[in-house]
Structure 1
């Protein structure tokens, strides 16, 4: 009976989250300080006409303790401007693909786990990553079993697992200093397993947190 009640609660929660994600783009308020102090709000503005199109996927799954969890990846050192950073699985759209197809394909290629299209609940507002000139669409999916991972070592140095309860705890957020091309600036971050999640990935996770708050 407990298992049945748990399943019912899980289904009801997923339904609420789907409804929260169906809200019009821009309806999720941003965390006041979710962006580096040199971004000047550019991630919220329109993308440049020649911005490259990309998509990624946030997968929610229960870990061994039954906690809803998100997989993150540590980018390999060969991954250009974002090498070594923590990111959501994703990448550029290929000709003929929809954004959703891109998100699912990239997630599979990078983590080794295939997510079915029917598991996608909805989409967060798009994010313009001005540092690399990408317009990124973020999809959210949910599954009720623990995936079997086989990350691609060419693109992924490792996986991190972020419990939703950790994301929703303000005590896990902080600030740090970043140096880019001899320019130093402060940036907010979320601490996960000794790593700092910041920049565009942090903004996307904060958007998810706002949607989760609406679904609770």
Structure 2
């Protein structure tokens, strides 16, 4: 497949990826409301002028059964404001570090698996994560073989594996209640292995589905 640097447009890499995964446009649910209540749509607005830059990686690979799968991680309880949350592997960019280099480096540091730059096929729209004041760029990569995982226990409590078929199935989406500073609100989520993926990570995964299904 093409690298993201050679793809002529977002539609080009998304269309090629959809064909490789064997998807049709009807497969993905059209879940457009991915932000928790009380967020006021701020994740779609401009970032703070001093927002820190971060990057992460969506890796698609075939599992033991040949089902295309996306690895997610449960952040360790030492990981600050996002401790214990489910996320895509990634992290903050170092000074003068390119976003793609940061995404590949962080993925390797957190999961133990090194993804080659030429495995990257595209990039999703950037996401503003207001809770930690980051602007996150999300890259999409694809590999044909099963990775060997060796997650860093200081950063990763566990790895979860999301088959693309589960992301495509609207029955895996729901709502739950969240309490922050004695304020309770509802938030949408995606169920993965009995756990809830929500917030910025959910937005990124649904963005992937929407890009794939909208590619012409």
Normalised by the length of structure 2, the TM-score is 0.87
Q: Which residue of 2 aligns with 1:157?
A: 157
Q: Which residue of 2 aligns with 1:19?
A: 12
Q: Which residue of 1 aligns with 2:20?
A: none
How far off is 1:38 after superposition?
Answer: 1.2
Q: Distance in 2 between matches of 1:53 and 1:203?
A: 18
Q: Which residue of 2 aligns with 1:31?
A: 31
Cα distance 1:128–1:82, how it changes in 2: closer, same or farther (>3 A)? same
- Structure 2 counterpart SS, 1:38: coil
How far off is 1:215 after superposition?
Answer: 5.4
Normalised by the length of structure 1, the TM-score is 0.87
The answer as to 2:138 corresponding to 1:145 is no
Q: Distance in 2 between matches of 1:78 and 1:123?
A: 29
- Whether the 8 Å CA contact 1:21–1:124 is kept in 2: the answer is no
Q: Which residue of 2 aligns with 1:197?
A: 197
How far off is 1:95 after superposition?
Answer: 1.1
Q: Which residue of 1 aligns with 2:123?
A: 123
CA RMSD of aligned residues (A): 2.2
- Structure 2 counterpart SS, 1:207: helix
- C-alpha deviations, 1:80-136, integer Å up to 9, x for none? 111101000000000121000000000000000000000000100000001111000
Q: Distance in 1 between matches of 2:31 and 2:175?
A: 14
Q: Which residue of 2 aligns with 1:182?
A: 182
How far off is 1:21 after superposition?
Answer: 4.5
Q: Distance in 2 between matches of 1:152 and 1:107?
A: 10
Q: Distance in 1 between matches of 2:139 and 2:214?
A: 17
- C-alpha deviations, 1:134-189, integer Å up to 9, x for none? 00000000000000000000000000000001001101000000001111110000
Q: Which residue of 2 aligns with 1:67?
A: 67
Q: Distance in 2 between matches of 1:123 and 1:94?
A: 19
- Whether the 8 Å CA contact 1:76–1:157 is kept in 2: the answer is yes
Equivalent residues in 2 for 1:66-85 (5 A)? Answer: 66-85=66-85
Q: Distance in 1 between matches of 2:176 and 2:32?
A: 16
Structure 1 regions of 5+ residues with no counterpart?
1-10, 23-29
Q: Distance in 2 between matches of 1:61 and 1:171?
A: 23
